Amino acid sequence: MKHQETLLNTLLTSNSLNGLSVDEIGEDHLYTGVDTPMKANAFDISDNKKKQKIADLFSQIMDVMGLDLTDDSLKGTPQRVAKMYIDEIFSGLNPENKPKIALFDNKYQYNQMLIEKDIQFYSNCEHHFVPIIGKAHVAYISSGKVIGLSKLNRIVQYYAKRPQVQERLTNQIAIDLQNILDTEDVAVIIEAKHLCVSSRGVKDDSSSTVTCFYGGAFNKQEKIVELQNYLKS
């Protein structure tokens, strides 16, 4: 399935939500495309400068909330948050942090699906900046090249480490793997719990969200069933 076919029908237009408010629509799965929305000048300043600015701004947020920034437990929090944002949980925004990928000839002549399942990841909802915690299952059929198994994990982590929407995360992983492996035969299934659902709003801690991308041979019903059977085992 091409990624255009798996995108949600969105109510977004360039300047409005078709006359409806975010509250009326529900913001949990709105997004405009596969690419993470980024400013053209997103990397004009250094990471160190970004951390300094974030720390200053987060200090203001804490001050507005009435927290005492002279307290020993709190005075280092703005710097810790800034470092966490840039170096850790949102490091996937910077293309320089994309994992280097080496491909190898498929000398084993293995032409069935390869599955890496239960890849645990931590991301953050772009609507509330609270965690998305889940597992990704990635499968592909070689077109002549294979990729190191750990690189599948690293690609998942790279795209997870940014403000995300689960549908976009699913498509970004799959499309990148299609380009890297030069094959349409890629499938990605993600199941995740969104803390914006469980810890606020409706406060439903029992539900989870599943998204799927089936490309090339994985678009066939028998391949989908075969893949799902492997995931159950």
184 is annotated as an active-site residue:
no
CA distance 163 to 223: 32
The active-site residue, picked from 127, 184, 191, 226, is: 127
125 is annotated as an active-site residue:
yes
Establish how many alpha carbons lie within 13 A of residue 220's alpha carbon, considering only the half-sphere containing its beta carbon. Answer: 7
C-alpha separations of 218 from 25, 56, 189, 197, 205 in Å: 32, 48, 12, 31, 32
CA distance 103 to 91: 24
The active-site residue, picked from 157, 178, 194, 212, is: 194
The active-site residue, picked from 166, 167, 172, 212, is: 166
DSSP-assigned letters across all residues of 145-205: EEE-HHHHHHHHHHHHSSEE-HHHHHHHHHHHHHHHHT-S-EEEEEEEEEHHHHSSTT--S
Establish how many alpha carbons lie within 13 A of residue 57's alpha carbon, considering only the half-sphere containing its beta carbon. Answer: 9
The active-site residue, picked from 27, 52, 128, 191, is: 128
3 is annotated as an active-site residue:
no
127 is annotated as an active-site residue:
yes
The active-site residue, picked from 126, 157, 172, 212, is: 126
CA distance 133 to 208: 10
126 is annotated as an active-site residue:
yes
The active-site residue, picked from 125, 137, 167, 172, is: 125
194 is annotated as an active-site residue:
yes
The active-site residue, picked from 167, 172, 178, 196, is: 196
Cβ neighbourhood burial of 168 (10 Å; 0-12, 13-18, 19+): buried
79 is annotated as an active-site residue:
no
Specify the DSSP class assigned to residue 32: -
- Cα 58 → chain centroid: 24
Active site residues: 125-128, 166, 194, 196
